[in-house]
Amino acid sequence: MSFKKITDSVLYCGINDFDRVIFDELIPLDNGTTYNSYIVKGNDKIAVIDTMYPKFTEQYLKSFDENGINRVDYIIANHGEQDHSGSIPALLNKYPMAKVVTNGNVAGNIKEMLLVPEDRIQVISNNEELDLGGKTLKFILAPGVHWPDTMFTLLKEENVIFTCDFLGSHHTFDEVFAVPSDKLTRGIKKYYAEIMMPFRMLSKKYTAQIREMNVDVICPSHGPMYKDEGLEYILSLYEDWTADEGKNLVLLPYVSMYGSVEEMADYVEKGLKAKGIEVFKYDVIRGNLGDLAVALVDATTIVMGVSMVLAGPHPAAVNVAYLAGVLKPKAKFASIIGSYGWGGKLFDKIVECIAPIKPEIVEPVQVKGKPKKDDFAKLDVLVNSIYEKHKSLGLV
């Protein structure tokens, strides 16, 4: 595998993981993912920025030999999670003179997680610089996108920023620089939904900071790199997704055991669409969680459709509500529609799960068995309430 040239002094030495079908055992991938690693060559020193997912360590180290990299002075660890730090011990072993250069939080993590010896770590602070001989690396702490240990590294002379997970995507590639497409946008959005959306305000802050820096190249740790028109592409996507305002979209995840909840969901969908509101109806049992995550990025309202199981909400609906609560989308309103057989509490657990979003709850509708005339009237009220909420935000 030949390393690919990014700039005069930067080489890409990452690996495509075409076979990976799920990330964090949570979000299905359409197009695999990549683990990006970079080599920066100064006149005197050579640095590696982030390393490799442990599964690929052997292939990664072999590629250094194949590309004639016979010494490494510094291993810059922008983040301690093992898809980037996992090959640090092997790299230290291969290059006995190398030191890991990183912040105190990453240092603590790699000592605990990878047993990296303290005397092989050089701890830096915010805005500290490292001279490679004619090339200077500047370290910018960026806690919260997405771990407390995250930092960015700027190659000053070439105006290249290495942002680790921030601005990354699940998208394998042949050409290292991003070519904007719907497929890539979905890979970036799915990645944003799982990894960055829980930290939306910090993502917004660092997007603005990177725009202000006016960099020439962005090198994340997953997915392609960005330059020229790609810079505007990635930054404007992040500006859109991190904005406080959602889209004129209702996300309607539902689980229906005997068809009653589905009938209610269909009715609500039809009513909302008739009022000019976009609806993404999501079958909780058969749907792709990636589609749900993508819709969560933009939805202004979430309506959960829930069947009762054993006096409580269906566990699959609870799972989706919990995930929504964890990912903290920008949705401002939420409601629940549901059906039960003999009794129980349908809504409390769902409301508890989505509480981190702090939504305004629009009056839920619960029916026994199949929805009847009075129930449809209540659903009409719900649809109208959501319409008024969206109208008040200027969305319709």
In single-letter form, the type of residue at position 177 comes to F
d(CA 203, CA 143) in angstroms, rounded, equals: 10
Can you tell me which of 222, 281, 314, 332 binds ligand FEO, judged by CB under 6 A? 222
CA dihedral of residues 266, 271, 277, 279 (deg, nearest 10): 0
Evaluate whether 248 touches 277 at the Cβ level (below 8 Å).
yes
Q: Does 163 bind ligand FEO (CB under 6 A)?
A: no
d(CA 314, CA 256) in angstroms, rounded, equals: 9
Contacts with ligand FEO, 108-147, as mask; x by CB under 6 A: --------------------------------------x-
Q: Residue 376, Cβ neighbours under 10 Å: how many?
A: 16
Q: Does 149 bind ligand FEO (CB under 6 A)?
A: no
Q: Does 102 bind ligand FEO (CB under 6 A)?
A: no
Evaluate whether 137 touches 127 at the Cβ level (below 8 Å).
no
**Which range in 76-84, 119-127, 177-185, 357-365 contacts ligand FEO by CB under 6 A?**
76-84
**Which range in 79-87, 260-268, 291-299, 335-343 contacts ligand FEO by CB under 6 A?**
79-87
Evaluate whether 189 touches 171 at the Cβ level (below 8 Å).
no
Residue count at the site for ligand FEO (CB under 6 A)?
A: 8
Based on CB atoms, which residue is closest to ligand FEO, 73 or 194? 194
Based on CB atoms, which residue is closest to ligand FEO, 30 or 363? 30
Based on CB atoms, which residue is closest to ligand FEO, 168 or 359? 168
Provide, rounded to whole angstroms, the least separation between the CB of residue 81 and ligand FEO. 4
Q: Does 171 bind ligand FEO (CB under 6 A)?
A: no
**Angle, nearest 10°, between helix axes 182-191 and 289-298?**
90
Q: Does 84 bind ligand FEO (CB under 6 A)?
A: yes
Provide, rounded to whole angstroms, the least separation between the CB of residue 43 and ligand FEO. 31
- Residue corresponding to tokens 């976009």: 278
Can you tell me which of 34, 169, 172, 221 binds ligand FEO, judged by CB under 6 A? 221
CA dihedral of residues 348, 349, 355, 359 (deg, nearest 10): -50
**Which range in 7-15, 81-89, 296-304, 322-330 contacts ligand FEO by CB under 6 A?**
81-89
Name which of 204, 294, 194, 299 is nearest 243 in CA terms.
204
Name which of 3, 65, 91 is nearest 40 in CA terms.
3
3-state secondary structure of 135: coil
Q: Does 170 bind ligand FEO (CB under 6 A)?
A: no
Q: Does 172 bind ligand FEO (CB under 6 A)?
A: no
Omega cis (within 30) before 390: no
**Which range in 64-72, 75-83, 183-191, 364-372 contacts ligand FEO by CB under 6 A?**
75-83
Q: Does 50 bind ligand FEO (CB under 6 A)?
A: no
Based on CB atoms, which residue is closest to ligand FEO, 207 or 335? 207
Measured from each CB, the residue nearest to ligand FEO is 81
Based on CB atoms, which residue is closest to ligand FEO, 81 or 298? 81
Q: Does 83 bind ligand FEO (CB under 6 A)?
A: yes
**Angle, nearest 10°, between helix axes 200-213 and 229-242?**
150
Provide, rounded to whole angstroms, the least separation between the CB of residue 367 and ligand FEO. 43
**What does each C-alpha distance from 228 to 116, 212, 221, 233, 240 come to in angstroms?**
38, 16, 19, 9, 19
Evaluate whether 187 touches 31 at the Cβ level (below 8 Å).
yes
d(CA 346, CA 100) in angstroms, rounded, equals: 52
Q: Does 81 bind ligand FEO (CB under 6 A)?
A: yes
Q: Categorise residue 354: left if φ over 0, alpha if ψ from -120 to 50, beta otherwise.
A: alpha
**Which range in 77-85, 225-233, 288-296, 345-353 contacts ligand FEO by CB under 6 A?**
77-85
Residues that bind ligand FEO (CB under 6 A): 79, 81, 83-84, 146, 165, 221-222
